[in-house]
A and B are shown apart, each in its own frame.
Chain A
């Protein structure tokens, strides 16, 4: 066949040459995509099939069942912890009137006696008696020193001063503010 005369056939042959190269490129792309999809599918399948999650979930359920046997003791622990906080708070904040009384008695010189006292809302009012005003003065001064230290109480007020002539006693009423 003389392809040189038939211009239409030459054109067709030229066209066929460029379209076949495009087709080849497309074939490569298609094969590449096929390969990628196959590989990705296989990899994903293996990842999901070999996932440790179901085994871990079974292990977690087993551990929870084992721990459920200790629930009573866990509750006791929680109660002890919770109550310990409240106990510490109460013991730390409640006033110790017996210790304040003991402190006052330790500061009272011989011959000075506490005859009455009243504690209310951290205010202590008490009456001391003695045959010696000097000893009462000594006692009051020691209380003032204690109040300056601000360890047990802060203020000292002398609210009443009287004398019992029959018994020969000096009676002094003092008010302290406990800390």
Chain B
């Protein structure tokens, strides 16, 4: 019966202008709805997609450049530079290297090492503040050593030069020489590994030429292994490395 009612209405009004008007208005409304609800939002989402495409292309270029660069570097040279850099500034307090450096310097400068004392501070603690572990003006933790040596001023000068050109890096804080005896206060630097966060989509920085030259220069300061015992009567009482490397 309902169906017959609709059919009656259809045949009654299909020739009238109201039917056409209804259809046309209905089409216009539906089209307007489609434009507002679907077309415009889709168009608005297209622009961020374009930007994302551009950004992704830029990231891919950086990644590819980084891959090309890493394929081109000399790994053995990098490993050598890494070794020299960490020998110059050890990751943690390395007493063996310090004593070897002092021993080697005393042998080459022909002085006699008497006694020495360490001032270490906290060896390493996540809770330790930089002040607790004896930070220098350079902001780096240090091992402080006080030495007593026997030798002339010329020998002491040579010892200072030898210590300066040895790894790990050090600096003389204080020296007091009187006649044939001297007291030297040394600081040996160390530097913990930094907390690195790798961002693959950032360009990788190569080692600059200046830094390569610096690393090359200080690589000559590495202590060569196994110096033999000297025959001089005024030689140091420690004539071989304490900690063979």
Contacts and interface: CB of A to CB of B under 8 A. Distances in A.
Interface of A: 16, 19-20, 23, 26-27, 29-30, 33-34, 36-37, 40-41, 44, 47-48, 51-53, 56-57, 59-60, 63-64, 66-68, 70-71, 73-84, 86-91, 93-99, 101-102, 105, 114-121
15 contacts: A34-B27, A44-B42, A44-B43, A63-B63, A67-B67, A70-B70, A79-B86, A83-B191, A87-B215, A90-B140, A94-B171, A95-B171, A97-B160, A101-B160, A120-B175
Q: Is the interface of B mostly helix, strand, loop or mixed?
A: helix
A87 B89 contact: yes
Nearest to B207: A80
Contacts of A120: 174-176
Given A44-B43, A47-B46, A86-B191, A114 B81 contact: no
Contacts of B39: 37, 40-41, 44
A22 B216 CA distance: 90
B65 to A, nearest CB: 10
B171 A48 contact: no
Interface in B103-119: none
Given A23-B24, A26-B28, A70-B70, A102 B89 contact: no
Interface stretch (B126-134, B192-200, B222-230, B234-242): B192-200
B218 A87 contact: yes
Given A26-B28, A90-B171, A90-B189, A116 B79 contact: no
Contacts of A81: 205, 207, 211
Contacts of B214: 84, 87-88, 91
Number of contact residues on B: which range applies? 35 or more
A37 B207 contact: no
B57 to A, nearest CB: 6
A26 B206 contact: no
Contacts, number: 196
A98 B161 CA distance: 6
B169 A67 contact: no
Given A78-B205, A81-B211, A98-B164, 11 more contacts: A44-B42, A44-B43, A48-B49, A53-B49, A53-B52, A68-B200, A88-B211, A94-B172, A98-B161, A101-B153, A118-B176
Contacts of A118: 174-177
The 5 closest A-B pairs by CB, nearest first: A33-B31, A94-B171, A63-B63, A98-B160, A84-B211
A41 to B, nearest CB: 7
Listed residue (B85, B189, B194) with the most chain A CB atoms within 10 angstroms of its CB: B85
